[in-house]
Amino acid sequence: KNEVEQSPQNLTAQEGEFITINCSYSVGISALHWLQQHPGGGIVSLFMLSSGKKKHGRLIATINIQEKHSSLHITASHPRDSAVYICAVSGNNDMRFGAGTRLTVKP
Amino acid sequence: EPEVTQTPSHQVTQMGQEVILRCVPISNHLYFYWYRQILGQKVEFLVSFYNNEISEKSEIFDDQFSVERPDGSNFTLKIRSTKLEDSAMYFCASSQQILSNQPQHFGDGTRLSIL
């Protein structure tokens, strides 16, 4: 069983839709990270959280430590949001990754 | 904004050859990482490095691999005798603090192709 599970694997949305990507993990963690991987391969860190909720622009990330679950929400999605979104969990100095969710937002 | 830079962007090497992938982390960062992503698969942690020594390493990081910070700016990953299965994208990352306290910044990756 993977230590970090994401759903869905693939997601297609129409521009403007509200999007949710889910992440569950089975190990103890110090923090959970949401990353965005662009079609060219580059990776950008979107959020790091260990409790509660964080918001940045149209992106919101939440985590429930007791349930070992996190969600990434995108409000008013746009074609430029099309990318692979990766959930990862870290101890102090290592990281375990989910398989990613490929998001396609159509105009 | 400061960036993590990786060179080369694409490296093609014959099987059995040694390869060195280079990274220049952000200048005031203290923690350094290497990851790899085999085509079509998830990103995998290889190693973390702090204070001139390895902090953590994964099962993938066997005796074929080594890391070094030869001077104040570069952070390198060496693969001693490459195998076909080493073909992957290799990402370097750095952070100011440990991963539980601060997110990391990633380079754009080096695509390693073993022939």
Q: Is residue A41 packed enough to be buried (19+ CB in 10 Å), middle (13-18) or exposed (0-12)?
A: middle
State the average pLDDT over residues A59-81.
97
How does residue A1 score in pLDDT terms, banded at 50, 70 and 90? low
> Which of A99, A78, A76 has its CA nearest to residue A6?
A99
DSSP letter, residue A90: E
Evaluate if residue B47 carries a pLDDT over 90. Answer: yes
What pLDDT is attached to residue A55? 97
As given in the structure block, the two tokens for residue B19 are 């390869």
As given in the structure block, the two tokens for residue A67 are 């349930």
Residues 6 or more apart whose CB falls under 8 angstroms from that of B83 comprise B15, B64, B114
State the average pLDDT over residues A9-29.
96
Inter-chain CB proximity B45 and A98 less than 8 Å: no
Residues 6 or more apart whose CB falls under 8 angstroms from that of B53 comprise none
**Nearest-CA distance from A53 to chain B in Å?**
16
Q: Which residues 12-71 of A are in CB contact (within 8 Å) with B?
A: 30-31, 33, 35, 40-45, 47-48, 50
Evaluate if residue A10 carries a pLDDT over 90. Answer: yes
> Which chain A residues are closer than 8 Å to B58 by Cβ?
94
Considering only CB atoms, A92 lies closest to which of B89, B99, B108, namely B99
Mapped onto helix, strand or coil, the DSSP state of residue B88 is: strand
**Would you state the torsion angle of the CA atoms of residues B105, A77, A18, B104, taken in this order, to the nearest 10 degrees?**
0
Chain-wide mean pLDDT for chain A?
Answer: 94
Inter-chain CB proximity A95 and B111 less than 8 Å: no
How does residue B62 score in pLDDT terms, banded at 50, 70 and 90? very high
How does residue B71 score in pLDDT terms, banded at 50, 70 and 90? confident
What pLDDT is attached to residue B101? 73
Nearest CA in chain B to A88: B43
DSSP letter, residue B106: E
What pLDDT is attached to residue A93? 77
What pLDDT is attached to residue A94? 85
Place of tokens 């994964």: B58
Amino acid at position B83, single letter: K
Evaluate if residue A83 carries a pLDDT over 90. Answer: yes
Helix H or strand E encompassing B97: none
Evaluate if residue A104 carries a pLDDT over 90. Answer: yes
How does residue B58 score in pLDDT terms, banded at 50, 70 and 90? very high
Evaluate if residue B88 carries a pLDDT over 70. Answer: yes
Nearest CA in chain A to B6: A42
What pLDDT is attached to residue A28? 87
A39 near A26, Cβ under 8 Å? Answer: no
State the average pLDDT over residues A20-45.
93
Mapped onto helix, strand or coil, the DSSP state of residue B94 is: strand
